[in-house]
Amino acid sequence: MKQPWKILLMWLLCISPAMAAPNIILIVADDLDQQLFSRMYADGYLPNIKTHLGDAGTQFSNAFVTEALCCPSRATFFTGQYAHNHGVVDNYKPYGGVTFFNASTALTVWLKNAGYATGMIGKYMNGYGIDPLQPLSNPENPRHIPVAWNFWRGLTSYQMYNYNVTQWDSTSGVTQLKTYSTYQTTKLKEFTVNFINALEAFDAMPFFIHVAPYAPHQEIEISGTGCSNPYWAKIIRPDASYLNSLPQYYTSLPQPPSYNEANVTDKPTFIRNAALLTAQEVGCARLQYQRRAEATRSIDDLVGGIIAALIAKNELANTVLIFTSDNGYFLGEHRLCCKIPGYEEGIRVPLVMRGPGVPVGSIAAPVLSNDLAPTLAAWAQASALVAMDGRSVVPLLANPSTPWRKRFLVEFQSDGQPPVSQFFGVRTASTDAVPSAYFAAWEDAESSIEFYDLATDPYQTTSNPASPHVATMQGYINALKDCGQPLKPTCQQAED
């Protein structure tokens, strides 16, 4: 039972004592693909995520992002919108980045208006804090604090050691620019636990915390690799305690049928122009894979630290925890590195959640990055300030047979990532008239198109542009690519 002074404090904060809104913690890894996550999860190297989230909550076996690139995906998390509606279509100017994101109408404001204390810890949006010469109103200035946050520990550089953090909280109002040498993921855990402890000293209002480690994103270029392409020569440094900590088979790169694909004549122009990976590049990709796995172990430690803090404050039962990633990752599939194209490796992400109202089990319906903001708003009883394209998964958690989307858009509409061309794609669910398929229309010199029946070609190695389903899939793209725009159908209508 709350003490009278706490009830008074809640009244002063305009929070109803009877309000049952849960605490919410959203943990977003950077570039953590479903394949690596699933392997480590099954092999017991993510014990905290498995025990406290997966075994205690719901796993989503078909979770996707709708643009496989950091900043657009993060903007989608905070708006519930496709990139063509929130307008952040790339990581940096002139096509995207933090200056293209409208923080004044984003999720944090909705939650703040609903009575939540809010904390941001880790990576915010690409471009945040990179230019101290910008005016304070510009989020590229490291002293800029976006609206509606109570507690801010925002990364302004992305090294795993000797990185920069902007620190601010609403009680002191003092902005500090700090540099830390502690392993980054470990420091983010410390920040998060400290915020939980500070909030629970008052126990007066629910909280929302967004925790965004940079791991396992590639970090630094290493010399002597023989890889002329810097994408292959970059790795992430794991915590020293996890360096070379995994069994020997982690030094062997998984090579599915799409790996270093021999025949790419059915692919878009920029892939057809890509050479086969050299032996040196395969070696670099192998090292990337190993270091990514080792760095992900610290993310599991971060989750464990959060769980321990919630248990110590008797808040675990009233807290929703969500773990996901901003996009998948390529390490040689279709001769690709990194992200953006809409193949399965790039758009599939881990998604697991636990908390009040979240049953133990799994859901196979396609759940999108677009769905997180509507879901969080539903739990928080918060009113959105934008028209959301996604849908709350709360009804789906209550009844997995709830009617759900049949298809969704995958998009990339920027000239800022050469040689990758712009494209629109559509991925269908098993319930669609064209079940379990992927179609992409590329805006390259040849207007390349791809069609894959994922039931028979799950690795997308053989496109069939002559399929009788192409016309239907193109019609889906025509409806989806500007859904949610004025005088156009809503995105939920286009997905159904």
Helix segments in 329-469, DSSP class H: 344-347, 372-380, 394-398
Whole-model pTM?
0.94
Residue 145: the pLDDT is 98
Helix segments in 360-469, DSSP class H: 372-380, 394-398
CA distance 192 to 425: 37
CA distance 447 to 269: 9
Residue 223: the pLDDT is 76
pLDDT per residue rounded down to tens, the chain (496 residues): 333 223 323 323 433 333 479 999 999 999 999 999 999 999 999 999 999 999 999 999 999 999 999 999 999 999 999 999 999 999 999 999 999 999 999 999 999 999 999 999 999 999 999 999 999 999 999 999 999 999 999 999 999 999 999 999 998 999 999 999 999 999 999 999 999 999 876 567 899 999 999 999 999 987 777 777 788 889 999 999 999 999 887 888 899 999 999 999 999 999 999 999 999 999 999 999 999 999 999 999 999 999 999 999 999 999 999 999 999 999 999 999 999 999 999 999 999 999 999 999 999 999 999 999 999 999 999 999 999 999 999 999 999 999 999 999 999 999 999 999 999 999 999 999 999 999 999 999 999 999 999 999 999 999 999 999 999 999 999 999 999 999 999 999 999 9
CA distance 173 to 149: 11
Q: What digits encode the pLDDT tens for the residues 106-126?
A: 999 999 999 999 999 999 999
Q: What digits encode the pLDDT tens for the residues 191-204?
A: 999 999 998 765 67
Closest to 193 measured CA to CA, from 315, 54, 302? 302
Closest to 292 measured CA to CA, from 323, 228, 337, 351? 337
Identify any residues that bridge with 352 across adjacent strands, giving them in sequence order: 59, 323
From residue 70, alpha-carbon distances to 97, 329, 340, 349, 475 in Å are 9, 11, 9, 13, 28
Q: Helix 184-200 and helix 279-312: axis angle, to 10°? A: 20
